[in-house]
Every structure is written in C-alpha cells, then in structure tokens.
Structure 1
Amino acid sequence: MDIEEELFEKLVDDPQQAGGLDPDARRAEPGNFLRHVASLAGSKLADGLIDPKLVLTWLMTHLGAGAALTGLLVPVREAGSLLPQLFTAGAIGAFPRRKWVWAVGSVAQGLAAIGIGLVALTLQGVVAGAVIVGLLAVLALARSACSASYKDVLGKTVGKSRRGTATGLASSIASGGVILFAVVLLWGGLPREVLVIAAIMLAGAFWVLGGAIFATLREQAQPRQGVMTGGQALSQLSLLRSDAQLGRFVAARAALVGTALAPPYLLLIGAGQDGNERQLGLLVLASALASLLSSYVWGRLSDRSARQVLIGAGLAGGVALAIALGLAWMGLAGSIWAIPAVLFGLMIAYHGVRQGRSTYLVDMAPEDQRASYTAVSNLVVGLVLLAAGALSAGLAALGPLWVIAVFALASFAGAWIAYGLDEVSA
C-alpha cells in the first residue's frame, strides 16, 4: 500500500465502498481524492486572501478609488461567477475531460489576481480602481468556468460517500490559512498595504498551483449529453409564472443579496477611525470564524427546514445591519470592535442564506426539472446582483449608511417573503 492509499483510508470512513465509480476510476481514487483536497484548498484559500468583501475593499479605499467603484467589487464578482454558467455549460459538457476547464480557469484566476497586485503597486485613485474592477471581472469569468465544471469532475473521480469529505477537508484547511492571514494582519509587523498586496500575490500563486495539481487528476474521457444551453435556460423563465413557489423563492433569494453586498459598506463606515490599522485583521478573522462556526450548523438546520433557515438568516442579516446603523448613529462605528462584531453576525446570516437557498431549491424542484429551476434562479438573481450593485454604488454617493439601511430593509423583506414559502424539507 502506497502513501496515497494510506492517507485516503485514514481520511475517509468507507474506503472500500465503490461509491458509484467503475473499477478504473476506483483504482485511481486515492490519488484523485488527495489532488482534489490540495487543489480545492488552494483555490478556497486564495478566495479568502483576496476576498472582495474585505481585502479588496480595504485596498480600494487605501488607493483612493472611491465608494462607487468599491461598491462594484462584490456584485461583479458574484454575478460574473453566476451568469456565464448559463451559456458555457453546454460547451464545457462537450469536453471529454473537464479537468482541463477547471485547471485553466484556476490559472486564469491566478493571473488576474497577480495583475491586481501589480496594479496596487503602480497605480492610484480612480484609474487603479477601474483596472482592479476589470481584472476582478476576468477573475469572476474564470471562476464561473471552474464552478460549472467542478461537480462533474468530482463525481467522476471521487465516490459518492467521500465527496463531502474531500470538499469539507479542503474548506477546513483554507479556513485555517485565512485565520493565519488574519493573525498576521493583527500582528502588524509590516505596513498593512504591504501585507495586503503580498496576500493578493500569494492568492494568485495558490490558484496557479491549484490548477497545476488539478491537471494531474486521472479522469476518464466521457462526453456528457443533454446539457442545457443558455438559450434553453432563457426559455425556462416561464416557470416563474407557472410555479408560484419558484417565483416566491427567487424573490426571497433576490431580496437577501444584501447579506453578500453589504460588507464593503461596513468597512467604509469604519475606515479612517481609531484602530483602523488593526481593524482589517479583525474583519478577516471575524469572517473566517463565522464561516467555520456556522456553516455546519446551518447545514443541519437546513435538512430539517430550509424555509426556516432562510427566514432566520434574513432576520439575522437585517438585525446585524440595523445594529451597524445604530452604532454609526451613536458615533461608535469607528471603535475597533464594532464593525468586526457586526460583520461576524452578518457573515453568519450570509452563510445561512447560502445553505438555505441551496437546500430549498434542491428539495423544492421536481427531479426532472432541477436543472431548469437552477438555471432560472441563477439567471434572475445574477441580474439582480448586477442591478443592486449598480444602484448601491450610486446610492453610496450619499453615504454608505444609506446603502446599509436599504440592505437591512431588504433582508427583513426577504425573511417575510420566505415566510410564505411552502415547507419542502423532509
């Protein structure tokens, strides 16, 4: 037994089960499992190091890019990762080995991240901000290709009962790395801008390395047929009229996008205040801890009632943002603990929204229409993200508190809309 097989048997509960794999894929599974963990951990760690909600927002503020461009970071990243999947899934499905799509997409993300680091070293102001937003759009497009291809590759190379272990282990490793990054920021041995730019460059290196590792997967050639094209996805919009519950679910999900879009504005209301030099480290730490502590709990609760998770997460997001407004009104938003504490609560809500919406859609959709329901939901919410990002960036001209107030109201509205959903969880 070689080292790969020994590690595989120690990391999974049922190494001897076939897990839906044929004999050839089964023989290659131990090595493929470890390659999945390594490449996905690198990708997730890179995500944390360049986090548009916090790290890029801080960088844009430091460069003097302005609130309008800063407000575009998260919607460009989220919508850019979501919308292209509708139109690329068919082309990706035609590849005999989809690992190359993920590998090339990961390398492209890495190159875009390195480009952002170089911009931070050479440009300032609005010009720097515009170029960074453009490079982030390229990164998001590459990310969409990775997202559209990953589940298929995972299903072909890792057995059913071991896929969650592979992705969960990768997430845990990445969370540990992000927490270490937060500790380094808090330590403050070097100027904050040096640490941030170094982290962005390191994120680029992790993406490139992850793509190189993923390319070594032993994936069998197996073209897939019947993949929905972008045009077919657009034609499915009629489902919003024919299925009232789908329409209500999409409306709830759209209203709850504020949990994803609000963090940059929280950072803006705390910028330039006392303790700001250490605040970025606290924000990154708060976000990483929220993910580490809440994702599993939300997952278990979603299995019981994804509807109630959406309600609870919406209320939690609205309360967190309302607290931010109250702290700003009392003049406490600049305290070193205030915004990190609010962000911790908001990120717990964000992960609840993510877990609840994913579980609810899978439980609600008829098995033979799951792809159609997913495509419609992604299309509408992707467009809402772009519109909300543009509107909030414009509203930010009046001040970030106005944006936070709107997102707080939208979160409460999302919880109310979710209250009217049917119970679909077992």
Structure 2
Amino acid sequence: MLTEKLHAALTDDAVETDRGEARRFVRHLVSLMSTKIADGLIDPKLVLAWLMSAGGAPGYLIGALVPVREAGALLPQIMLARVIQRQSIRKYIWAAGAFLQGAAALGIAAAAVMLDGPALGWTIVACLSVLSLARAACSASYKDILARTVETGARGTVSGAAGTVAASVVFAFAALLAFQIIPLTIGAISVAIAIAGALWIIASLVFAGLDEPADERGEDTLGSLADIIKPLRTDHELRVYILARGLLTATALAPPFLVILAGTDGTGGLGNLGLLMLASSLAAIASSYIWGRLSDTSSRATMMFSGLLAGAALGAAATIGLITGRLEAVWLAPALLFVAQIGYEGVRAARKTHLTDMNTGGQKALYTALSNTLIGVLLLAGGIFGVIANAFGPAVVLGIFAGMSVVGALTASRLSNVQKDA
C-alpha cells in the first residue's frame, strides 16, 4: 500500500509496520503539510503587512499583526488545556481549530478585495485574532494527539517532512513573486490567501478521520490555578525547557530587524524583499526534515547546535550593522537570514519534539499549554525590542538576540536526553 511505503521511506523503518500506524502517520503528514503551506501563504510578517500597506491601512494596525498572531496563539492555552483534558477523543478540537483558521483566512481574502483604509486594517486584525485563537486550540491539543497516535522515533520526522514539502511550495510562491511571474497585486495576494483558507479546511477534514484511541482519563484533572502551575515547582526539566525556549524566541523575533537593517522595511526595492522571502523558504526546505530526524535522536543536542548557529548569524549581522550602519550588499541580508532561519528551524523542531517525548506523567496537554502560555507572555513583551530599535538601531537589537540565542543554547545543555530515556 502507498501509505506503508511512504511511512517506511520517511522513517527508514525496515520492519513491516502496522497498516493503521502507517495511515495515522500519513494523516498527520497531510494535515501538517496543508497547514504549514497555509501558514507560509498568509505570513503576517510579510504577506499581511504588505497587503495592509497596499490597501492603505494605518501603520499602528500593521504593527499589531505579529503580536496578535503570536501571542494570540499562545496566551489562551491554559484555559484551553482544561477543555482538552476533559475529552477522551481530542482530534476534533484540532480539526475545529483548523477549520476556523480556514474561515478566518477566507475572511481576510474577502476583505482585501472589498475594503481599504482603516476598515481593511481592522477587519484583517479581527480575522487574524480569530485565526490566532483557533491556532491556540490546535497547538494545545496537537502534541497529546501526536504522542498517542504516532510512535516514538517518527514524531519529529512527520513534522520535519511536512515542513520540507510546505517550504518548497512557499519557496515556489516567493520565486514567482520575486520574478514577477505572479503580479504583486492585491488581487493576486488575495487569491493566495484564499488558497491558504481552503488548505486549512482540507486539513481539518483529513485530521477528523484520524484513528485516535480514546483516552480513558478524559476528565478534568487540572484543578485550581495552583494545580495548573504546580509542574513549574515540581518538574526541573520543564523549568529548564521553558527557560531555554524563552531565550531561543530570539530566533523567531529576529527576521524583521534583519529586514530593517537591509533597508527593505517597506521602502526598499521589491527585489531584495523577494530574495529575503526566497532565503527564508530555502532554509526551511534545506533543513526541516534533517532537523526533525536529528530531534528524534536528541532534541537536546539539536536545540543546542541550532541555537548556536542562529546566534552566530545574528551576531555577524549585528557586528556588520554596527560598523557600516546597514547590510548594503544585495546578497548579504539574504545570506545571513538563510543561516539564521536554518537555526530557527532547528530550534522549532527540537523544542516541539522535546516536549512531545518528555515524561509528563500523562499531562501532555497541560505541559504544552503551560509552556506556551508563558512563552506567549514573553512574546507579547517582545514589543519592547521595537522601542530599542527605534532608539539605538536594529543592529543593537540583533546583538541582543545573538546573546539570547547563545545563552539559550547553553541552557538547553542542562536538559535531559529524553529520547534515550523513552
């Protein structure tokens, strides 16, 4: 069967696998692949920011895109964890979240062709808020579902493989834009966003058919707020994990400041913006699957190495920026972004796999929600870096991010090798 062959090819599983196991793996793969492509097509840092700017939306609404997108997807997860914990079957929570993201994306596409000015800006921010909250439901439920439906040793692989395929599609989209094969118009971007909406809805339908075993513990075991935050007091591994992940958020926050340092913060040429999009996509294509496989071997070592790699790229950008004032050579910013994004992809794969494989005493959803909520607060506070950039320049901010990445990598060295203990 095709599913068994695909499962064996991606996992290097020489032993004949159970047909149900292969089907579950492929459903995860198709669902993740669809949502990751959709994420790339609607990227708030680039696509939605350009769309709102082209449509005459106010600057303060454009500046709200990334905080709404990131914090909105993380902050509600403590509340969602209680709902998830009560469900014996949890795939429908993820499927509903994906469906709502698709509906919100279709709303953005419609607004882009029907509205302009403040009305366009407020409508996109409102739809993005719905999309982010729906994403929170997917994020809070997914690792628990993954841990119960895909075997250890293949979890990072399914995410990495989906990321590689999705990045290839987004890369092709970026290339078509950069070479003006697809015209950079509101209409064309609206079509891309509508396609993203359709992909989320397809992912929802595919995931709803997943063969998920019932969790007989499907009851509310979270208790009071003190019970919810108890793992922070009792689990050293979780505390170190959250600290390392918090420091390594620098790898996610850095790209806009690289864009500013390159002089393409909305006033530069389209060519540079296209090259930056291509560099980001190529980094994901080149590294997602590899990082996923390495994470299945040692998520701790993967987090350490990728954090150091990102820190080196950001440190180089900061140094050049402090000396010259900007990244003037047309190839320099894309090259540095490429390396930094490879590091980011490694951090992303490693922290997901580490939490999935970590021993949580049957509280995977709670651990996921607790860590994501704390990281959401940190990302919301990350708006201070924009103030620092305005006062001292983007090179200073990139220097701070480089330091955070290195310290985050060193902190990750204190984590356990959870794959060895599994």
Q: Shorter-normalised TM-score: what interval?
A: 0.7 to 0.9
CA distance in structure 1 between the partners assigned to 2:141 and 2:241 by the alignment: 26
* CA contact 2:177–2:183 (8 Å) conserved in 1: no
Decide whether aligned partners of structure 1 residues 213 and 249 sit closer, same or farther in structure 2, where only a CA change above 3 A counts: closer
Q: Show CA shifts across 1:271-319 (max 9, x none).
A: 2689731233322322222122223443455456544443333333233
Decide whether aligned partners of structure 1 residues 134 and 173 sit closer, same or farther in structure 2, where only a CA change above 3 A counts: same
Where does residue 282 of structure 1 map in the other structure? 275
Where does residue 354 of structure 1 map in the other structure? 348
Specify which of 326, 338, 362 is matched with residue 344 of structure 1.
338
2:296 matched to 1:313? no
* CA contact 2:144–2:365 (8 Å) conserved in 1: no
Decide whether aligned partners of structure 1 residues 93 and 252 sit closer, same or farther in structure 2, where only a CA change above 3 A counts: closer
Decide whether aligned partners of structure 1 residues 246 and 306 sit closer, same or farther in structure 2, where only a CA change above 3 A counts: same
Partner letter of residue 341 of structure 2? M
Specify which of 19, 33, 36 is matched with residue 41 of structure 1.
33
**Greater CA deviation, 352-361 or 221-230?**
221-230
* CA contact 1:49–1:178 (8 Å) conserved in 2: yes
Where does residue 205 of structure 1 map in the other structure? 198
Aligned residues: CA RMSD: 3.8
Where does residue 404 of structure 2 map in the other structure? 410
CA distance in structure 1 between the partners assigned to 2:4 and 2:406 by the alignment: 46
* Offset of residue 49 of structure 1: 1.1
Where does residue 18 of structure 2 map in the other structure? 18
Decide whether aligned partners of structure 1 residues 74 and 226 sit closer, same or farther in structure 2, where only a CA change above 3 A counts: same
Q: Secondary structure at the match of 1:12?
A: helix
Partner letter of residue 18 of structure 1? D
CA distance in structure 2 between the partners assigned to 1:125 and 1:328 by the alignment: 35
* Offset of residue 46 of structure 1: 0.5
* CA contact 2:157–2:289 (8 Å) conserved in 1: no
CA distance in structure 2 between the partners assigned to 1:305 and 1:154 by the alignment: 18
Q: 5 Å matches for 1:61-80?
A: 62=54, 69-80=61-72
Q: 5 Å matches for 1:54-93?
A: 54-60=46-52, 62=54, 69-93=61-85
Decide whether aligned partners of structure 1 residues 318 and 42 sit closer, same or farther in structure 2, where only a CA change above 3 A counts: same
Aligned length: 410
* Offset of residue 392 of structure 1: 2.9
TM-score, normalised via structure 1 length: 0.79
* CA contact 2:164–2:288 (8 Å) conserved in 1: no
2:176 matched to 1:181? no
* Offset of residue 335 of structure 1: 4.1
CA distance in structure 2 between the partners assigned to 1:214 and 1:40 by the alignment: 9
* CA contact 1:50–1:56 (8 Å) conserved in 2: yes
* Offset of residue 207 of structure 1: 1.4
Partner letter of residue 138 of structure 2? C
Where does residue 139 of structure 1 map in the other structure? 131
* Offset of residue 125 of structure 1: 5.8
Q: Secondary structure at the match of 1:333?
A: coil
Where does residue 23 of structure 1 map in the other structure? none
Unaligned 5+ runs, structure 1:
1-5, 20-25
* CA contact 1:185–1:278 (8 Å) conserved in 2: no
Q: Secondary structure at the match of 2:185?
A: helix
CA distance in structure 2 between the partners assigned to 1:151 and 1:233 by the alignment: 22
Unaligned 5+ runs, structure 2:
none
* Offset of residue 178 of structure 1: 1.3
Q: Show CA shifts across 1:59-88 (max 9, x none).
A: 455556577654543343233223333222
Decide whether aligned partners of structure 1 residues 174 and 333 sit closer, same or farther in structure 2, where only a CA change above 3 A counts: same
Partner letter of residue 261 of structure 1? L
CA distance in structure 2 between the partners assigned to 1:325 and 1:284 by the alignment: 20
Where does residue 324 of structure 1 map in the other structure? 317
Decide whether aligned partners of structure 1 residues 338 and 126 sit closer, same or farther in structure 2, where only a CA change above 3 A counts: farther
Decide whether aligned partners of structure 1 residues 424 and 337 sit closer, same or farther in structure 2, where only a CA change above 3 A counts: same
Partner letter of residue 417 of structure 2? V
Partner letter of residue 169 of structure 2? G
CA distance in structure 1 between the partners assigned to 2:205 and 2:298 by the alignment: 40
CA distance in structure 1 between the partners assigned to 2:155 and 2:407 by the alignment: 35
Decide whether aligned partners of structure 1 residues 406 and 102 sit closer, same or farther in structure 2, where only a CA change above 3 A counts: same
**Greater CA deviation, 34-43 or 252-261?**
34-43
* Offset of residue 184 of structure 1: 0.9
* Offset of residue 142 of structure 1: 0.9
**Greater CA deviation, 400-409 or 276-285?**
400-409
**Greater CA deviation, 351-360 or 152-161?**
152-161
* Offset of residue 366 of structure 1: 6.1
TM-score, normalised via structure 2 length: 0.79
What is the percent sequence identity of the aligned residues? Answer: 44
CA distance in structure 2 between the partners assigned to 1:146 and 1:221 by the alignment: 18
* Offset of residue 204 of structure 1: 1.4
CA distance in structure 1 between the partners assigned to 2:360 and 2:57 by the alignment: 46
* CA contact 1:276–1:336 (8 Å) conserved in 2: no
Q: Show CA shifts across 1:313-361 (max 9, x none).
A: 3333233223333444425535432322222111112122223334555
Q: Show CA shifts across 1:169-226 (max 9, x none).
A: 54343222112212211220343234433322221122123324444x1647836425
Decide whether aligned partners of structure 1 residues 33 and 278 sit closer, same or farther in structure 2, where only a CA change above 3 A counts: same
**Greater CA deviation, 313-322 or 66-75?**
66-75
* CA contact 1:268–1:400 (8 Å) conserved in 2: yes
Partner letter of residue 89 of structure 1? A
Where does residue 291 of structure 1 map in the other structure? 284
Decide whether aligned partners of structure 1 residues 343 and 12 sit closer, same or farther in structure 2, where only a CA change above 3 A counts: same
Q: Show CA shifts across 1:9-54 (max 9, x none).
A: 33233695437xxxxxx4xx77666554433322221011112343
CA distance in structure 1 between the partners assigned to 2:130 and 2:266 by the alignment: 33
Q: Secondary structure at the match of 2:327?
A: coil
CA distance in structure 2 between the partners assigned to 1:201 and 1:324 by the alignment: 36
Decide whether aligned partners of structure 1 residues 346 and 196 sit closer, same or farther in structure 2, where only a CA change above 3 A counts: farther
Decide whether aligned partners of structure 1 residues 94 and 382 sit closer, same or farther in structure 2, where only a CA change above 3 A counts: same
Partner letter of residue 200 of structure 1? I
Q: 5 Å matches for 1:226-241?
A: 226=218, 232=224, 235-241=227-233
